[in-house]
Structure 1
Amino acid sequence: MSVANRPVHRPLSPHLQVYRPQLTSVLSILHRATGIALSVGALYLATWVVFAAASPSTYATFQGFNGSIVGRFVLGGWLFSLFFHLFNGIRHLFWDMGYGFEIKEAYRSGWIVVVAALVATAASWIVGLRLV
């Protein structure tokens, strides 16, 4: 049997059962997920504006949801998505310029993005609570 006709007993393409998740792949997936979350959040924001324009009672209903545990979780997730997508987008701009491709640098910048997104989310949430 020739080499070309020999059966292959391995995956033909990479998949989750073969590769261990790495920080770079997790951040790439998270970047895409936060982009989708920002799109859904834009619809949420548009709904908020429509409810505000409709009547004070509908706006109060929407605000009641925003003040609930679930509403705060949704808004906090959207806020984290915004900051993560922003900081990771800046990271991608540096990659577009040819900087940070070494493994050590990619991991360092990845952790910086995660920490910066968490700190910015917490800081803006605290400032927002003080303004209310």
Structure 2
Amino acid sequence: MATRPQVRPLSPHLGIWRWRVHAVTSITHRVTGNGLAVAGGLAFVWWLVAAALGPEAYADFIAVARSPIGVIVGVGLSWAIFQHAASGVRHLAMDTGAGLELGTSKTSATVTWVFSILATAALWLFILL
């Protein structure tokens, strides 16, 4: 006799839950931290190895870094640095008990996004101009 698999109900909050800026900011903080550790670490090691191997290897690294893909990666890494840093300051303040009110939390989360985007734009305008 075949048994039917047991169907479990979904949690009731899943149908009404919405993404909020402070939740997305907190999740993004974790994602950018891991991304910086992996992608940023690999790029940094590649740069160090290229510098240690000599002018030809370093020229290859610079050629890739200045290519469109390299610039996209650079913009992404610099945005991740600014986002993670701003969110880290936000978390540090919240760890002291400050800014836990819903309105303040939403405002500080929004400020981290605005800051990271503006800082990234300013950095790359400085680099490219």
Unaligned runs of 5+ in 1: 1-7
Amino acid at match of 2:56: S
Identity of aligned residues (%): 35
Distance (Å, rounded) in 1 between the aligned partners of 2:54 and 2:64:
16
Distance (Å, rounded) in 2 between the aligned partners of 1:95 and 1:61:
44
Match in the other structure for 2:115: 116
How many residues are aligned here?
122
Deviation of the 1:76 alpha carbon: 0.6
TM-score (norm 2): 0.85
Which of 31, 34, 37 is 2:35 aligned to? 37
Match in the other structure for 2:61: 62
Deviation of the 1:129 alpha carbon: 2.5
Listed one character per residue, the Cα deviations across residues 56-106 of structure 1 (whole Å, up to 9, x for unaligned) are 111111111111111100011000000000010000111011111111111
Matches within 5 A, 1:11-50: 11-12=10-11, 19-40=17-38, 41-50=40-49
Instruction: Sort the Cα spacing of 1:107 and 1:53 in 2 relative to 1 into closer, same or farther, 3 A.
Output: same
Give the structure, 1 or 2, with the largest relative contact order (CA under 8 Å, sep 6 or more).
Answer: 2
Distance (Å, rounded) in 2 between the aligned partners of 1:47 and 1:118:
26
SS at match of 1:85: helix
Please say if residues 86 and 115 of structure 2, whose CA atoms lie closer than 8 Å, have aligned partners that are also in contact.
yes
Match in the other structure for 1:5: none
Listed one character per residue, the Cα deviations across residues 27-84 of structure 1 (whole Å, up to 9, x for unaligned) are 1111111001111202211111111110211111111111111110001100000000
Unaligned runs of 5+ in 2: 1-6
Deviation of the 1:18 alpha carbon: 5.7
Distance (Å, rounded) in 2 between the aligned partners of 1:43 and 1:13:
42
Distance (Å, rounded) in 2 between the aligned partners of 1:103 and 1:120:
26
RMSD: 2.0
Greater displacement, 36-45 / 74-83: 36-45
Distance (Å, rounded) in 2 between the aligned partners of 1:107 and 1:116:
14
